[in-house]
Amino acid sequence: MKLDNKVAVVTGSGQGLGLAYAQDLARHGAAVVINDVNHTIADAAVSSIVEAGGTAVAVVAPVGSTETAQKLVAGALEAFGRLDIMVTNAGILRDKVLWKMTDEDFDTVVNVHLRGTFTCAREAAVQFRAQGDGGRIVCIGSPAGQRGNFGQTNYSGAKAGIVGMVRTWAMELERAGITVNAVCPVAATAMTESVPFLQPYIEAMRNGEPLPPFARRELGFGTPADAAGIVSFLASDAAAEVTGQAFAIGGDRLALWTHPDMIATGYRDGGWSAESIAQAWGSTFSDSLESVGENLPVEPAR
């Protein structure tokens, strides 16, 4: 599970889930490029990694444009000489019901989540192909993209689109040794604070109370750190053959996710680290991987 000599960019990693991904990648040995729109937040994230013995730099820029994607990859090359892992996590919310959502509400969210994932993944793919030794792209989706969520037309649409792009890119990049996967986390963040049925559990966590087994197992809900192990696993050599998949993770639950159901669900008390995922992979998940591209069954001619 070591990521020594690997370099990762994690967009939107100043806090929340993105910071948890960056810290876990660094803990496994990767040098990390932190990204946020706020200098103070980005610098604090870098400090948290460096103080823990890791290596990190910051690139402050809003995700969405090609210019920012190029700036992020250039930042990795300038600081560390290469790029091996791209994690597209940056996102924002503009929640409103359909009849109240403005064009700006829709376009702003889609620009960061969907276009930002596209531009950053494209820039990473160009760099990986130039380097010639493969690479890892991990795109962050959401349960909202798989099952919907009230008031989140823009967010749900973008997250569903991300999973669709992941499955396409896995086909396109396979020959270059580049894997592409999606992770749909369920964790206590600013983006889940608006979900009504999660409120009691979020309040419990704020009060330092342990989450009940129902929340961690059946809901698959937990902390950002609970969702970080799958990213490090997918970035590692242990996941070299895993591509075009969507994973749901949170609390004690990890599952492969096909539309609209979860398959091959596994539970582990205390949550899933990258190491425990690697140990359980062959016996729990590998036989349930979804077909990608040319491996899909063909509908008989009528």
CB 232 within 8 A of CB 25: yes
Pairing label, strands 253-257, 262-267: antiparallel
Task: Report d(CA 226, CA 270) in Å as an integer.
Answer: 8
Q: Is 283 a catalytic residue?
A: no
The conformation of residue 236, written as its DSSP 8-state character, comes to S
Which run of H or of E encompasses 255?
Answer: strand 253-257
Q: Indicate if 155 belongs to the active site.
A: yes
Candidates 6, 156, 159, 201; catalytic one: 159
- Residue in 6, 13, 21, 155 annotated catalytic: 155
Residue 71 designated active-site:
no
**Of these residues, 142, 232, 236, 273, which one is catalytic?**
142
What tokens does 290 get?
Answer: 């979804």
The answer to whether residues 114 and 158 touch, using CB atoms and an 8 Å cutoff, is yes
If DSSP codes are grouped into helix, strand and coil, which group holds residue 280?
Answer: helix
Burial (CB count within 10 angstroms: exposed 0-12, middle 13-18, buried 19+), residue 79: middle
Alpha helices (runs of H) in 111-221, residue ranges in sequence order = 116-131, 143-147, 153-173, 199-206, 213
Structural tokens at position 109: 């969210």
Neighbours of 67 (CB within 10 A): 11
Q: Which of 232, 235, 234, 210 is nearest to 222 (CA)?
A: 210
**Rounded Cα–Cα distance for residues 39 and 136 (Å):** 27
**How far apart are the C-alpha atoms of 240 and 245, rounded to whole Å?**
13
Cβ atoms of 36 and 12 within 8 Å: the answer is yes
Tokens of 245: 């998949």
Please, are residues 110 and 157 in contact by the beta-carbon 8 Å criterion?
yes
Q: Which residues are tagged catalytic?
A: 142, 155, 159
